[in-house]
Amino acid sequence: MNWDIVQGNWKQYRGRVQTCWGELTDDHLDVIAGKRDQLAGKLQEAYGVTRDEAEKQIKRFEKSIKD
Nearest alpha carbon to residue 45 among 19, 65, 27: 27
pLDDT of amino acid 37:
96
Say yes or no to pLDDT of 52 above 90.
yes
Domains of the chain: total: 1
For residues 41 and 51, what is the distance between their CA atoms, to the nearest angstrom?
A: 7
pLDDT of amino acid 65:
84
Specify the pTM: 0.90
Residue pLDDT, tens place only, 5-45: 889 999 999 999 999 999 999 999 999 999 999 999 999 99
CATH code of the domain in which 53 resides: 1.10.1470.10
**Domain containing residue 49:** 3-66
pLDDT of amino acid 66:
77
Rounded to the nearest 10 degrees, the angle between the axes of helix 51-66 and helix 36-47 is 120
Backbone torsion region of residue 34, taken as left when φ is above 0, otherwise alpha when ψ lies between -120 and 50, otherwise beta: left
pLDDT of amino acid 4:
87
